Chains A and B, each alone.
Chain A
């Protein structure tokens, strides 16, 4: 069982927008603004698309955006494209005695 909770799957049509949620606790998502999102296309390594809740690394499309409310973070993908089809994982740094990263269970995005 993963530390952060994500829906198993979401779907949308090209051009639409979708949102993926990521629920944690006050020790991780809710306590700090260190939530990241990763995109994993089939057969590929994860790719960072959002860090520090809302920031995009250089080169990442502005169709990807992040937000947070309490202990739930969200990833929104606008203007869905077929190449967005894949798995999306949230992650948070956790300032516990072990201070490390926790991941969500992943969400499969299907672009219909």
Chain B
């Protein structure tokens, strides 16, 4: 059974750095082709791809947010960590992590999401 779960602060202040952790089970990030990524969704708005890390450490970033994002992985702990700097109220959103399976260019399993509010 494949599961992913996001964890981290629910409230951050403007200009602060957000750190979210995705803890997963049922698959290995060491498997060729597999990746784990982050997607966010502001209230009432569309999904937005942020970043993804592959089994070999290769990283992909949204061009518009690349300067603020960092993604890392710890395969021994089955965790992927998202760091986003200089948070702003417009970054208020539900943040999801999801798996990229080994053979398909899609995101097949998603976490339940964690809502982050940016406010002073």
How distant is the Cα of A36 from the Cα of B114 in the complex, in angstroms?
Answer: 23
How long is the Cα–Cα vector from A93 to B113 in the complex, in angstroms?
22
Known contacts A45-B96, A100-B60, A89 near B106 by CB under 8 Å: no
Q: Answer yes or no: A99 CB below 8 A from chain B CBs.
A: yes
Given contacts A98-B61, A100-B62, contact A48 B46 (CB under 8 A): no
Q: Does residue B48 face the partner (Cβ distance < 8 Å to A)?
A: yes
Select A103's contact among B46, B104, B109, beta carbons within 8 Å: B46
- Using a CB–CB cutoff of 8 Å, the interface residues on chain B facing chain A are 37, 39, 46-49, 51-52, 60-63, 66, 96, 104-113
Which B residue sits closest to A47, measured CB to CB?
A: B110
- Check: A104 CB closer than 8 A to any chain B CB: yes
User: Chain A interface mostly helix, strand, loop or mixed?
Assistant: strand
Interface centre among B46, B48, B60, B111 (most CB of A within 10 A): B46
How far is A48 from B34 in the complex, measured between Cα atoms in Å? 16
B61 and A46: CB pair below 8 A? no
Q: List 6 A-B contacts (CB under 8 A).
A: A2-B46, A48-B109, A51-B104, A91-B49, A98-B60, A98-B61
- By a beta-carbon cutoff of 8 Å, the part of chain A in contact with chain B is 2, 32, 34, 36, 38, 45-48, 51-52, 57, 89, 91, 93, 98-106
Contacts of A101 in B (CB 8 A): 37, 39, 49, 52, 107
Bound together, the chains give a CA A2 to CA B41 distance in angstroms of 12
Contacts of A51 in B (CB 8 A): 104-106, 108
Assembled-state Cα–Cα distance A51/B96 (Å): 19
